Amino acid sequence: MPIIINGHDVAAPADPRVSLLDLLRERLDLTGTKKGCNQGACGACTVLIDGQRKLSCLSLAVQCDGHDITTIEAISEVDSLHPLQAAFIETDGFQCGYCTPGQIMSGIALRGEMQRGAPSHVTPRLEDVPEASNEEIRERMSGNICRCGANNGIIEAISSYVRGTL
Amino acid sequence: MELFTYERAHNPEAAVIAGAPSRAKFLGGGTNLVDLMREGIERPSALVDVTGLSQTIVETAEGGLLIGAAASNAAVAEHRLVRNRYPALSRAILAGASAQIRNMATVGGNILQRTRCRYFYDVNGARCNKRDPGQGCDAIGGFNRYHAVLGTSSHCIATHPSDMCIPLVAFDAIVHLAANGGSRSIKLAELHRDPGDTPQIETALDPGELITAIELPPLALARRSAYRKVRDRASYAFALISVAAALHVDDNRVTDVRLALGGVAHKPWRALIAERALVGQPATYDTFLAAARAELRAAQTQRDNAFKPELAARTIAAVLRTLAEEQA
Ligand SMILES: Cc1cc2nc3c(=O)[nH]c(=O)nc-3n(C[C@H](O)[C@H](O)[C@H](O)COP(=O)(O)OP(=O)(O)OC[C@H]3O[C@@H](n4cnc5c(N)ncnc54)[C@H](O)[C@@H]3O)c2cc1C
Ligand code: SF4
Ligand code: FES
Ligand code: FES
């Protein structure tokens, strides 16, 4: 079984030590996904695996055999923007841009999680459908670190995307 | 990273056969193991991927819950029956790691994750009895703000870092195990051990033993349960201390209580001394605090963590007060 990356079949590497992140960046030239810490602490390497946000630095590429990977390169057509990308520009959601692909992949998955009613650490009551408050978005985005401190713009962009008020 | 072989197990029988060689390791989400392999702390020769084994969460005949070891931490936290019946379990998971890591991490891997002691991680720079038995422990006398105060030894003062395990021990969770020779079940409270003079031996599992599921017994009390985690930043940090609690109050007296502590010991710490001291007592903040302090009386603190016993005691008392007020 191949790994399906952005709709294309890719053979799993023969060396099981290769991480999904290194497969993407070093072997497939999909360098939109960034390597920050390489140890699960920063979120720069976030991709969607079967629609869920996960860290490509801690995923072995061989584990992804048969699974569907979506990276930042595939969220919009050439010369067009995904609504969340447009929102980041609107709100100044970045400075150096290094964390941005991970933030955007994380934000896209976050919307799905909220729509299906998944609670977070700050959701007041576990039985309630969580509201897209800034506090909720901040907590849910805490796995994506921004060294430049563009957090306010990031939270604003994702909030408006989740609330559908773009 | 050293070279290893990789294979996927499609059922527990195949997993325990593939996992039997001494340097084979089971692979869950990889969020701990892959990191430790990169650091050279774990050096398996074979990885047996067990994420394809049971992920189901189902009600048992007795009215408890059976959770497959490959269920993701996120799936457990989000599950309707967990939220309704064992809310402290949802809360504990949601208080840990990040959304991405919770999507990857499995129940089996969470239970068997290793300590975050920074000297354990520092392969070339620090002595660690857990990593290299007999070397010594640089955490003793070193930076030990995050280290244990209960059940420690002069060989190791590391903590078990899991949030999820704290409500699980409070609720008497059972761990189902499989091995080449057959299967067995043990209480989660008996799975992790104190460090003693062999901190490299962390659990009661036999080599090659596989966690297949955890089982939560039916526990009406758990519907009124809570988890509180105290940490250095509001999100995405390990616990300094944490408390899982469930309480039942009748006529202003404690009729039943469950308490467990995280961040204080080499294992998830069930606070049995405090539980026993509380049953039958008036449900007041003062009795809560006195019982909590009794639990922490045996604490042995280090240079940087002298605050922990009192912080743990006050957090227990505060959580119990909140639970009592909800029933008033
Ligand atoms: C940046 C970061 C922050 C974190 N913050 C927190 C936090 O705040 N709170 C918290 O509780 N945790 C935290 N974690 C830890 C995280 O919860 C664990 O890494 C995770 O639960 C491990 O699960 P896994 O499936 O990825 O395990 P793996 O890494 O795949 O495996 C861990 C161990 O379990 C063994 N194993 C796995 N499955 C089985 C099985 N079925 N039977 C037998 N053995 C098995 C493996 O061989 C290995 O030894 C954090 C991790 C990171 C990277
Ligand atoms: S506390 Fe335990 S894990 Fe940490 S350095 Fe000492 S022996 Fe190693
Ligand atoms: S590069 Fe993966 S989390 Fe930092
Ligand atoms: S924009 Fe620079 S790290 Fe976030």
Q: What is the CATH number of the domain that holds B21?
A: 3.30.43
Domain extent at residue B295: 224-326
At residue B163, the 3 state secondary structure works out as coil
Using CA atoms of A119, A120, A121, A125 in order, give the dihedral in degrees to the nearest 10: -30
Complete domains list, chain A, with CATH? 3-74 (3.10.20.30), 83-163 (1.10.150.120)
Pick from A35-39, A129-133, B51-55, B168-172: least confident: A129-133
Q: How far is A78 from chain B (nearest CA, A)?
A: 27
pLDDT for A31: 98
Is B54's C-beta closer than 6 angstroms to any atom of ligand 2? no
Within an 8 Å CB–CB cutoff, is residue A76 touching chain B? Answer: no
- Is residue B157 situated within a structural domain? no
Work out the pLDDT band at B80, boundaries 50, 70, 90.
Answer: very high
CATH number of the domain that residue B284 is part of = 3.30.390.50
Q: Give me the residues of chain A with pLDDT under 70, please.
A: 165-166
Torsion over CA: B177, B81, B234, B99 (sign): positive
Minimum distance, in Å, between the CA of residue B93 and any CA atom of chain A: 9
Model confidence at B234, pLDDT cuts 50, 70, 90, reads: confident
Mutate to test the pocket of ligand 1, among B16, B32, B42, B210 (most ligand atoms within 8 A of CB): B32
Q: What's the rounded mean pLDDT across residues B175-197? A: 97
Q: What local confidence, expressed as pLDDT, does residue A166 receive?
A: 57
Separation of A64 CA from ligand 4 center, angstroms?
A: 28
Residues of A in contact with B6 (CB under 8 A): 16, 60, 62-63
pLDDT of amino acid B260: 98
Ligand nearest to the CA of A157: 4
pLDDT digits (tens, 9 = 90+) for B285-321: 999 999 999 999 999 999 999 999 999 999 999 999 9
Residue with the larger pLDDT of the pair B138 and A165: B138
Total domain count for chain B?
2
Distance from B166 to chain A by nearest Cα, in Å?
16
Contact B175, B68 (CB under 8 A): no
- Does the Cβ of A97 fall within 6 Å of ligand 4? yes
Say yes or no: ipTM exceeds 0.90. Answer: yes
B237 assigned to some structural domain: yes
Mean pLDDT (whole number) for B219-233: 96
Atom of ligand 3 nearest to the CA of A42: 4
CA B199 to chain centre: 16
Q: What does the pLDDT read at residue A147?
A: 96
Looking at all shown ligands, the one closest to residue B138's CA atom is 2
Q: Number of C-alpha atoms within 13 angstroms, CB side, residue B160?
A: 31
pLDDT grade for B229, boundaries at 50, 70 and 90: very high
CA-angle at B164, arms to B162 and B167, nearest 5°: 120
From CA B148, how far away is CA B266, in angstroms rounded?
Answer: 7
pLDDT of residue B235: 87
Encode pLDDT of B203-223 as tens digits: 999 999 999 999 999 999 999
Give the closest of A55, A127, A142 to B235, CB-based.
A142
Q: Is B157 in the pocket of ligand 2 (CB under 6 A)?
A: yes
- Nearest ligand to residue A43 Cα: 3
- Say if residue B48's pLDDT is above 90: yes
- Burial class, B325, CB count within 10 angstroms (exposed 0-12 / middle 13-18 / buried 19+): exposed
Is B72 contained in some domain? no
Q: What is the mean pLDDT of residues B234-260?
A: 96
Q: To test ligand 2's pocket by mutation, which of B138, B153, B198 has the most ligand atoms within 8 angstroms of CB?
A: B138
Residue B321 lies in a domain: yes
Structural domain ending residue among the three candidates B51, B71, B88: B51
Q: Which amino acid is at B304?
A: D
For B200, the token pair is: 């490299």
Percent of all residues in chain B with a pLDDT value above 70, rounded to a whole number: 100
**pLDDT tens digits, one per residue of A129-138:** 899 999 999 9
pLDDT in tens, B95-109: 999 999 999 999 999
